[in-house]
Amino acid sequence: MTRFALVDGNSFYTSCERVFRPDLIGKPIIVLSNNDGCVVARSAEAKAIGIPAFQPYYQVQGLCRKHRVAVFSSNYTLYGDMSRRMMNILARFVPQQDIYSIDECFLDLSGMATPHAHGRHIRQALQDKLGLPSCVGIGPSKTLAKLANHVAKQQAQWQGVFDWADLTPAEAERLLANMDVREVWGVGRRLAEKLHQLRIRSALDLQRADSRQLKRHFNVVLERTVAELNGISCLALDDVASGKQHIISSRSFSRQVSSLPPLSASIAHHTARAAEKLRAQGSTAAMIGVSIQTNSFGSATPYHGYTCIPLLQASDDTLSLNQAAQAGLRQLFRPGLRYHKAGVVLMEIGDKAIQQQDMFAPAPDPRRARLMSTIDQLNRRLGKGSIRLAIEDISPDWQMRQAMRSPCYSTDPQQAITANQPSYASAPAGYRLHWPRQLPGS
Domains along the chain? 247-393 (3.30.1490.100)
Residue among 267, 377, 373 nearest 325 (CA): 267
Q: Each residue of 61-97: pLDDT tens digit?
A: 999 999 999 999 988 878 888 988 999 899 999 988 8
Smallest CA-to-CA distance from 78 within 43, 130, 122 is with: 130
Q: Which residues fall within 8 angstroms of residue 128, CB to CB, at 6 or more apart? A: none
Nearest to 186 by CA among 142, 225, 145, 220: 225
Tell me the pTM: 0.69
Q: With 70 as the cut, is the pLDDT of residue 275 above it? A: yes
The helix/strand/coil state of 62 is helix
Four-CA torsion 392, 393, 398, 401, nearest 10 degrees: 110
Mean pLDDT of 341-352: 88
Count of Cβ atoms closer than 10 Å to residue 78 Cβ: 25
- Among 107, 114, 160, smallest CA distance to 135 is for 160
Of 196, 220, 160, whose CA–CA distance to 5 is shortest? 160
- Tens-digit pLDDT profile for residues 99-151: 888 899 999 999 899 999 999 999 999 999 999 999 999 999 999 999 999 99
Q: What is the percent of the chain with per-residue pLDDT over 90, rounded to a whole number?
A: 58
Note the pLDDT of residue 430.
Answer: 47
Give one DSSP letter per residue of 302-371, joined into a string: --EEEEEEEEEEEE--HHHHHHHHHHHHHHH--TT--EEEEEEEEEEEEEGGGPPPPTTSPPP-HHHHHH
